[in-house]
Amino acid sequence: MSVLLNFIFIATPGQVSLRKPSHPDDDLCYITLGKAESLSACTFNSSSKTFLVIHGWTVSGMFESWVAKLVTALYEREQTANVIVVDWLVSAQNHYVVAAQNTRAVGHEIARFIDWIEEATNMPLDNLHLIGYSLGAHVAGFAGSHASSKVGRITGLDPAGPDFEGEHAHRRLSPDDAHFVDVLHTFTRGSLGLSIGIQQPVGHVDIYPNGGSFQPGCNLRGALEKIAIFGLFAISDAVKCEHERSIHLFIDSLVNEKEAARAYRCSSNDVFNRGMCLNCRKNRCNTVGYTTSKVRKPRSVQMYTMTRSSMPFRVYHYQLKVHFSSKVNRSEIEPSLTVSLFGTKGEAENLQLSLKEKIATNRTLSFLLVTEKDIGDLLMLTFKWEETNGWSASNMLKMVSSWWSGDADGNSMDVHRIRIRAGETQQKVVFCLKDPGAHNINQELTFVKCKDAWRSSKR
């Protein structure tokens, strides 16, 4: 059975208008601050969840297309909810610095509206969820901090960085503004040193998709070049993909509930990119977006995830631990390593292992791999080594032959086992070299599942 979602739009101070999902661009019913009868006239449901969607800085003075998409997604997920879209376009359509200064006043006005709704309907504020994008995230923070009672949740979608980075908690979105504050950071910094979204953690849970600085499928270089040439007024078009990705990740979490992306607690993006943070014990992992689990700790929980370039954004994370052994010490080297994974549901071939440090003998290195599709339980993998040091073909062939197979002095380098942890399933598998005598670097080495447990080998 389909139930219409209340889509409410704050038009002027003290007045909101109800919109139906079938008419997202029409003001069908107005709610007036201080007039409780307008709530019932617009079928405001005080027992359901209520969402306040708050836009950010604008150049055009018009709503972006994502607003209607987010409203529709909220409707699909929470059919009986009240969705309120805050219109502060007049204050937001200014020079960025002025718009940023206006966020506090707009937050105060929304806090007045929240207090009135609570008093007029006895609506528990635990049911209130503010969703703010860019400058709107800080507006949500000010609204939450000035409401008479603490609201249930605030979601910050790439909160704006300029004029807020490094500021005291009461001058920006912070964990104090709601019972639960979760944040998605998607454009925290660029190669020109530009920070559109805030980089510092500002919530109870701060998730940094793809490190928070580059999103797959976006032309980061082109965006930064436009901003370098045209200044802040080029931000709207230039950074739309990177900055707005936070919104689409949240929409994705609403409409693709069964394919929700997973994020992992980690001390830094560099450590995460080594695959060392895929353990879900003790709440070390969480879902991205709408179903992010509530976490309340004295310090922010910083989490990381990788994504695809389009919906559904979820990928599958794997940690590979590879031990390199040798009979003698050799110089550190930097080859190109490629892995193919084969599972019960499919395969992912020619995945590049990103070297964060040089390979040395008797050393175990950890790598992060991601696949865009679910390949099921792992059954087998292939491992390929290619030299990239620019030596001549003859020298490289000689070096590879002696390094892998052992030269006249008995030198040899071996990879006998590869350990894998699957982030999404938490499955741990040890793979052994299928043919222990296979050391020809010109061929892919094949590894199959060992009978040993994850911790049975130190190699």
Token output for 417? 């086992």
Query: Distance between CA 14 and CA 110 in Å, rounded?
Result: 10
The active-site residue, picked from 243, 248, 317, 439, is: 243
The answer to whether the annotation marks 177 as part of a ligand binding site is yes
The answer to whether the annotation marks 330 as part of a ligand binding site is no
Q: List, in sequence order, every residue forming a beta bridge with 326; answer none if it has no partner.
A: 413
The kind and range of the H/E element at 321 are strand 316-326
Query: Distance between CA 40 and CA 212 in Å, rounded?
Result: 43
- In 3D, which of 110, 114, 142 has the Cα closest to residue 128? 114
Burial class (CB in 10 A: 0-12, 13-18, 19+), 348: buried
Query: Distance between CA 290 and CA 219 in Å, rounded?
Result: 27
| Residue 158 annotated as catalytic | yes
Q: Is the Cβ–Cβ distance between 238 and 224 less than 8 Å?
A: yes
- In 3D, which of 193, 4, 142 has the Cα closest to residue 83? 4
Query: Residue holding tokens 């390094």?
Result: 403
The active-site residue, picked from 87, 158, 182, 414, is: 158
Residues in the chain: 459
| Residue 134 annotated as catalytic | yes
Query: Residue holding tokens 């994502």?
Result: 66
Q: Is the Cβ–Cβ distance between 424 and 305 less than 8 Å?
A: no
| Residue 377 annotated as catalytic | no
Burial class (CB in 10 A: 0-12, 13-18, 19+), 147: buried
Residues 6+ apart with CB under 8 A from 120: 36, 39
Beta strand 417-422 with 428-433 is antiparallel
Q: Is the Cβ–Cβ distance between 188 and 154 less than 8 Å?
A: no
Query: Residue holding tokens 């209130």?
Result: 128
The active-site residue, picked from 17, 91, 134, 253, is: 134
- In 3D, which of 191, 187, 209 has the Cα closest to residue 199? 187
Catalytic residue numbers? 134, 158, 243
Sequence ranges of the binding site? 172, 177
Sequence ranges of the binding site for Ca(2+)? 172, 177
